[in-house]
Amino acid sequence: MRFRTVAALTGALALSLVSGCAQGGSTGGSGNTVTYWLWDANQLPAYQACAKDFERRNPGLDVKITQMGWDDYWTKLTASLIAGTQPDVFTDHVQKFGQFADLEVLEPLDGLGIEDADYQPGLAAGWLGRDGHRYGAPKDWDTVALFYNEGMAKDAGLSADELNGLSWNPEDGGSFEKAVAHLTVDERGRRGDEPGFDKDHVKVYGLASGGGGDGDGQTTWSSFAASAGWTYTDKERWGTEYRYDDATFQSVVDWYFGLADKGYMAPLSDYSSKSNPANAQVAAGRAATAFDGAWMISTYAGLQDMDVATAVNPAGPTGERATMMNGLADSVTKNARNKPGALKWVKYLASEECQNTVGRYGIVFPATPEGTDAAVAAYEKKGVDVSAFTRPVDAPEGFRTFTYPITDNAADVLALMQPAMQDVYGGGKPVGSLDATNDQINLILDQ
């Protein structure tokens, strides 16, 4: 049902664009106004500061910023593209890029003079379409690391050096699984690696649940699969075949979700992206650790009556530590009402001036190296160590960074993989069931 809904929505959007129903009409736009949408409320003050400076540099141009939550954001953006009320500029996500490229709703940005070398490695290249045109201006980046409750780690006798030196394998889980087991405590106070541990009555899980991970596993299984040598598709970008049927991938997923069967990781039933995400499980004292992204640094640092630190991801069978390096971008809609103003605004957003402004707020890592340095300095002033996130970029030896899978039919892949991964995690289905899902996905890509 979900797949048919996504397909129908995609078809409706494509039809509306072909028939000319989406000509112009940016919400609240006028000849001198540029409308800009973003989803992160924490970043809103930084971009309001950028808008103020942009307006000073471009007399007569005004920027109207609209912020909304993640789920509402994508629903309303898609609806606006259908109705012809789309913003001039919006914050874009690589996960959605393939679908927008399919639908041809983005304006090429080739004339903005964006150079790969001006940004952190790989960020600019990720926004090139199949046709070689650029559709996104680099905005910021993030990696994933292990957040942990320092008090719980101390009680378990685990030092920061030990947690930063963990390794894993799909056979016995290595020192990572041993650490997670030791951090797990049942209702009678017995640890996961002690005799008599009751996996059915756990008080504190060693690892929070991040859900099934859908088709990318960004903050769940992705770092393990990558450090085992697996890749999502047959090519880094715009691949034509997914590899969820690969034996290495399935062995990783089988081991990872098996942590829940052993009682070391919270079950899928504990997870809710809205009411009980991984950070909420840590905040409630229900989990000792959680894999999460750099965009959550301030959230964990702000937890009351709890000291939370971070460690790099465990090394895998390849000997490397892996993390997804995601990069957001700003895109211009093809039917933007104020396209000249929109292009000026996007060029400014990607400039050192705005990137440094955003960096000084200490909320995210801007796409330029100088902007990143400003963010690191801002975090340091707050007493927050962000090295677990920056090391894979600043000192990449021993680390592997990788991106979201970028392919056609991204919405269809999500619609198929989301329930499939949940079925493996919490529904009792064998990992081999992913073979059929992979065949369905590749059949769609082949059409």
Same domain, 293 and 185: yes
Is 182 a member of any domain?
A: yes
CA distances 257 to 400, 403, 425, Å, are 23, 22, 6
Angle, helices 387-394/369-381, rounded to nearest 10 degrees: 160
Residue 103 scores a pLDDT above 70: yes
49-58, 190-199, 405-414, range with the lowest pLDDT: 405-414
Same domain, 117 and 151: no
Its domain, for residue 158, covers: 144-324+409-445
Tokens at 279, concatenated: 């950070």
Last residue of a domain, one of 343, 369, 384: 384
Segment 277-284 mean pLDDT: 98
Nearest-CA neighbor of 206 among 255, 152, 154, 254?
152
- Percent of the chain with pLDDT strictly greater than 90: 88
Same domain, 128 and 6: yes
Same domain, 292 and 379: no
pLDDT band at 95 (very low <50, low <70, confident <90, very high): confident
pLDDT at residue number 99 = 84
- Percent of the chain with pLDDT strictly greater than 70: 93
Same domain, 170 and 268: yes
3-state helix, strand, coil in the chain (%, to 5): 45, 15, 40
Segment 160-187 mean pLDDT: 98
Same domain, 240 and 307: yes
Last residue of a domain, one of 351, 367, 384: 384
Segment 28-48 mean pLDDT: 88
CA gyration radius, the chain: 22
Cβ neighbours of residue 17 under 8 Å, at least 6 residues apart? 81, 103, 104, 105
Is 392 a member of any domain?
A: no
pLDDT at residue number 8 = 40
Is 369 a member of any domain?
A: yes
CB burial string 178-195: b at 16+ within 10 A, e below: bbbbbbbbbeeebbbbee
Residue 354 scores a pLDDT above 70: yes
Residue 11 scores a pLDDT above 90: no
Same domain, 180 and 236: yes
Residue 14 scores a pLDDT above 60: no
Is 401 a member of any domain?
A: no
Residue 3 scores a pLDDT above 70: no
Residue 22 scores a pLDDT above 80: no
Tokens at 111, concatenated: 């004339």
Is 390 a member of any domain?
A: no
Segment 183-188 mean pLDDT: 98
For CA atoms 235, 17, 5, 221, the dihedral sign is positive
Same domain, 180 and 286: yes
Residue 431 scores a pLDDT above 90: yes
- Separation of alpha carbons 238 and 249, rounded Å: 20
Give the CB-side neighbour count of residue 79, counting CA atoms within 13 A: 7
Is 396 a member of any domain?
A: no
Tokens at 132, concatenated: 């070689």
Tokens at 437, concatenated: 């899902």
Same domain, 135 and 19: yes
CB burial string 83-103: b at 16+ within 10 A, e below: ebbbbbbbbbbbbbbbbbbbb
Same domain, 154 and 258: yes
pLDDT averaged over every residue in the chain? 93
Same domain, 319 and 348: no
- Separation of alpha carbons 148 and 168, rounded Å: 17
Is 394 a member of any domain?
A: no
pLDDT at residue number 16 = 39
Residue 413 scores a pLDDT above 50: yes
Specify the number of domains making up the chain.
2
Same domain, 221 and 278: yes
pLDDT at residue number 447 = 81
Domain CATH for 270: 3.40.190.10
pLDDT band at 27 (very low <50, low <70, confident <90, very high): very low
Residue 123 scores a pLDDT above 60: yes
